[in-house]
Amino acid sequence: MRALLATLCFSTALSLTAVAASAQQAPRGLGDLHDALNLMPAQEAAFRAYAAAVTPSREAEARQEATDRMLPDLPTPRRVALIQAAMEKDAEDFKRQGAAVNAFYAQLTPDQQRIFDRETVPSADAPPSSAPAENEGSGDRLRMPPSSAQRPD
C-alpha cells in the first residue's frame, strides 16, 4: 500500500512538473496578438512589459533542462525533492506572469479585452503537454496564435 501511494505521489508530481513546464514554453503569436489588439501608442510599453514577462527566461529553460537530465539518475527521495523545488520555482514564475497578464489586461479597452480573451483562450481539445503543437496550448495556460515572435533580449 505504501509503495502504491509513493508511486501515485511521484507520478502526480511528474505530471504537475510537465504542466508547469508547458506553462513556461515561449508564448506563440505575440506579434499576431499585438496586431489583433490594434494597440494605441500609450499601450505599447504595457505590451512590451507583458511580452517580456510571459516569455520564459533562459534561466527557466536551463532549470527545466537540468531537472529533466537529472531525474532519471536520482534515487526517489531526491527526485521528489527536485520535483518539489522545480514546482515551487515554476509557481513563482507563474505568479509573476499572471501579474503581468493582469497589469496588461487592465490597460486594454473593453473591445481589446474581448480580442485578448478570444485570442488566448486555451484550446478545448488540446491535451496538456510540455510541447504544445503549433497554435495549441495546454488546458492550463493561455494559448497564443502562431507567430515568428522572438524572445526579447
Residues 6+ apart with CB under 8 A from 30: 51, 54, 55, 144, 147, 149
Q: Summarize the confidence of residues 85-92 as an average pLDDT.
A: 92
Using pLDDT thresholds of 50, 70 and 90, give the confidence band for residue 127.
low
Q: Which domain holds residue 40?
A: 2-120
Q: What are the Cα distances from residue 80, in Å, to 66, 74, 127, 139, 140?
A: 15, 9, 24, 25, 22
Distance CA 80, CA 6 (A): 10
Q: Return the pLDDT at 124.
A: 72
pTM over 0.85: no
Quick check: is 58 in a domain?
Answer: yes
Which of 54 and 128 is assigned the larger pLDDT? Answer: 54
Domains identified in the chain, total number: 1
Quick check: is 144 in a domain?
Answer: no
Quick check: is 113 in a domain?
Answer: yes
Quick check: is 139 in a domain?
Answer: no
Using pLDDT thresholds of 50, 70 and 90, give the confidence band for residue 65.
very high
Answer for the pair 2, 73: CB distance below 8 angstroms, yes or no: no
Quick check: is 115 in a domain?
Answer: yes
